[in-house]
Amino acid sequence: MVRVVRATQVEIDTAVQALRDGELVAFPTETVYGLGANAQNPAAVRKIFAAKGRPADHPVIVHLDSPRFLHRWVREVPEAANKLAERFWPGPLTMVMPRAANVHDVVTGGQDTVAIRVPSHPMAQQLLTAFGGGIAAPSANRYGRLSPTRAEHVRDEFGDEVRFVLDGGDCKLGLESTIVSCVEDAPRVLRPGSITLSQLRAVVPTVRGGADAGSPRVPGSDVKHYAPRTPLSIVTSKTLEEVVAQSTVDHERVAVLAMRPPRLANKFMTWINAGRRADLYGRDLYVNLRTLDKSGAREILVEEVPGGELWEAVRDRLSRAASAENVVAMDPDIAALRADMGEDIGYP
Ligand code: TXA
Ligand code: MG
């Protein structure tokens, strides 16, 4: 497959014009696709919340092409953030910092902090540089659902509601950025991603892992998130075939995401072998879950992944997807409508 990594000038001009007009533009990053709006236009940012069906008080990340305009968004860049930026930007790192006075509440969720990321995807860079400002963007999926790692996922998710989607091919990393809060004395990881705790600590030794109570609000840290529609459970490798056999006795279909091939054939089973490399497993995770979600299975069984920090982001997303088991899928249009009316929809 040809990797499309740069947009034409016409595409970029059109996207920039859309952003200036207060419209939404979906664009690729190295992690997942983002649903972007001019971060300085509150009405435009509100359109993101309406489209996603996301509660209005959840903050969004501001994307910049480089740290050169950081001072427009951040009151005071903490020393640790400076060091981490130097090492990991552009790249899959988001940092939460004290907000500058003029950053709009709709971007920060009314908090005194703002999350900033400088993505490395060439097309994201092209767009940000041509636009010349900050682009507020969450992942381009309905609230609580799987993040998109291909342009076609954004189309599947939003159809005509999002007119402009820049197609940059498959996302290289496939899992959302590592989020580090830099507002306390010691920086803290709020969401694990492909940049690991040891990589962060190699630059700033005091970085703490894990989230604890009282942390700033991160929707991705609610349980029931990043979820397929089909109920998902995590199963040990040892019992996988046994559980498949049980689940298919009455000829119901079952879907499996494993790190190895099946030991027994079963015609009611769709099995994906995602392999044993954490980076490739993570890159393909959402695509694989989407495939299994569409397979007509009653449930998705996921083989338990290894411990250790290389697998931390994958484990995090899988455990959130698993806890969505009892969630009744809500019509996205209704969810969007309710969110638009400012209701807390209580739906991931
Ligand atoms: O890789 C990524 O980070 C992708 C791409 C598009 O950049 N974006 C993404 O955005 O995953 P989103 O909105 O799906 O997740 C961003 C997370 C949310 O959980 C949000 O609550 C958190 O960042 N966040 C944003 N601003 C924050 C703040 N000021 N304090 C704490 N958390 C914040
Ligand atoms: Mg998201």
Beta bridge partners of 303: 235
292 Cα: distance to centroid of ligand 2 (angstroms): 20
Which residues in the chain land under pLDDT 50?
212-217, 324-348
285, 174 in Cβ contact below 8 A? yes
225 Cα: distance to centroid of ligand 2 (angstroms): 8
Quote the pLDDT of residue 323. Answer: 64
Task: Name the closest ligand to CA 138.
Answer: 1
Three-class DSSP category at 74:
strand
pTM score above 0.75: yes
Quote the pLDDT of residue 210. Answer: 76
How far apart are the C-alpha atoms of 24 and 111, rounded to whole Å? Answer: 23
How far apart are the C-alpha atoms of 35 and 38, rounded to whole Å? Answer: 11
193 Cα: distance to centroid of ligand 1 (angstroms): 12
Beta bridge partners of 255: 270, 300
114 Cα: distance to centroid of ligand 1 (angstroms): 10
Quote the pLDDT of residue 282. Answer: 98
Interstrand relation of 25-27 and 164-165 (parallel, antiparallel or unpaired) = parallel
Quote the pLDDT of residue 3. Answer: 63
How far apart are the C-alpha atoms of 5 and 120, rounded to whole Å? Answer: 11
Task: Name the closest ligand to CA 35.
Answer: 1
Count Cβ atoms below 10 Å from residue 168 Cβ, excluding itself: 25
Ligand 1 contacts (CB < 6 A) are: 29, 31-32, 34, 58-61, 94, 96, 108, 111, 113-115, 117, 119, 137-139, 176-177, 179, 190, 216-220
How far apart are the C-alpha atoms of 9 and 227, rounded to whole Å? Answer: 36
Quote the pLDDT of residue 211. Answer: 56
Quote the pLDDT of residue 103. Answer: 98
How far apart are the C-alpha atoms of 146 and 153, rounded to whole Å? Answer: 9
Phi, psi of 135 (to 5 degrees): -110, 115
Residue 199 neighbours by CB under 8 Å, 6+ apart? 88
* Ligand 1 atom closest to 117 (CA): 7
- List pLDDT tens digits, range 36-48: 999 999 999 999 9
Task: Name the closest ligand to CA 31.
Answer: 1
